[in-house]
């Protein structure tokens, strides 16, 4: 497993940001990488390859890992407060003893993920409310709306 320095990681995050904005750069492929004890606060790893990445004791406060492949990753004792894992593949990930208040796991695949002793809010898996929302159906030629209350 390759260990990255904070400087190497910061460069990869910069390149990934450019890739996401279609301005060159390249997708972050950090599979089998040791990022333990590094600072990823506010990192945007949307759609990154993070399979088997070690995030033990890493600072991932406010990180965006939505729609990423994070299978078999290790988040032991990591700070994941305010992190987003929307639509992420977290199968077999280890979150034991992680700090996870306000984490967003909406539609994440957490099959066989280990949340042993994790500080996790009860609403982490909740679907967003759609109350008082109006949806207009297109293509029907009618001006009808569906309202959810």
**pLDDT for residue 144:** 52
What are the tens digits of pLDDT across the range 3-52?
999 999 999 999 999 999 999 999 999 999 999 999 999 999 999 999 99
Q: Give the DSSP letter of residue 58.
A: -
**Maximum distance among all Cα pairs of the chain, rounded to whole angstroms:** 59
Structure tokens at 74: 């290790």
CA distances from 76 to 16, 24, 125 (A): 24, 33, 20
Q: Give the DSSP letter of residue 147.
A: E
User: Global pTM?
Assistant: 0.82
Q: Does the pLDDT of residue 115 top 70, yes or no?
A: yes
Give the Cα separation of 10 and 90 in Å (integer).
23
**pLDDT for residue 121:** 80
**pLDDT for residue 124:** 73
Per-residue pLDDT band for 142 (boundaries 50, 70, 90) equals: low
């Amino acid at each position: 497993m390759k260990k990255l320095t904070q400087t190497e990681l910061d460069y990869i995050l910069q390149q990934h940001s450019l890739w996401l904005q279609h301005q060159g750069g390249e997708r972050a492929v950090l599979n089998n990488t040791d990022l333990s004890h590094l600072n990823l606060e506010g990192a945007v790893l949307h759609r990154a390859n993070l399979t088997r990445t070690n995030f033990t004791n890493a600072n991932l406060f406010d990180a965006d890992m939505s729609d990423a492949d994070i299978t078999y990753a290790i988040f032991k004792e990591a700070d994941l407060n305010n992190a987003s894992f929307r639509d992420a593949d977290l199968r077999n990930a280890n979150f034991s003893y992680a700090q996870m208040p306000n984490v967003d796991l909406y539609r994440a695949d957490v099959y066989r993920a280990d949340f042993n002793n994790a500080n996790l809010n009860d609403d982490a898996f909740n679907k967003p409310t759609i109350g008082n929302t109006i949806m207009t159906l297109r293509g029907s030629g009618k001006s009808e709306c569906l309202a959810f209350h």
